[in-house]
Amino acid sequence: MPTYEYECRKCGYQFEKFQAITAEPLKTCPKCRGKVARLVSGGAGILFKGSGFYQTDYKKTSHASHATDKSTEKKTESAPADGKSAKPAK
């Protein structure tokens, strides 16, 4: 259910009301009983939460395995030939 914003035409009081889309708009101010107008709102933006919308929902399995193979190849290429890690000089 959306939250609608209203403003009283008489006293200027602004308030929000959580209503169903099918509900009738409010007509009176809760403070002075004057007429209210429902304001036009920009709405809420879309929020993507989690480890990744594309990676978890729409990535093809053949593409995912191919990408994993490439990342494994890069790791083995950058490792020293003797298998020891290089230590920075002090």
pLDDT, tens digit only, all 90 positions of the chain = 788 999 999 999 999 999 998 999 999 999 999 999 999 876 666 776 766 556 555 555 665 555 555 555 555 555 555 555 556 665
Q: How far is Cα 40 from Cα 63, in angstroms, rounded to an integer?
A: 44
Residue 23 CA: distances (Å) to CA of 3, 16, 64: 12, 14, 47
Residue 85 pLDDT: 56
Three-state DSSP class for 63?
helix
The answer as to whether 25 is a domain residue is yes
Count of domains forming the chain: 1
The answer as to whether 64 is a domain residue is no
DSSP code of residue 3: E
The answer as to whether 69 is a domain residue is no
Residue 77 pLDDT: 53
The answer as to whether 58 is a domain residue is no
The answer as to whether 63 is a domain residue is no
The pTM assigned to this predicted structure is 0.47
The parent domain of residue 15 ranges over: 3-38
The answer as to whether 16 is a domain residue is yes
Q: How far is Cα 14 from Cα 26, in angstroms, rounded to an integer?
A: 12
* The token pair that represents 86 in the structure block: 């290089």
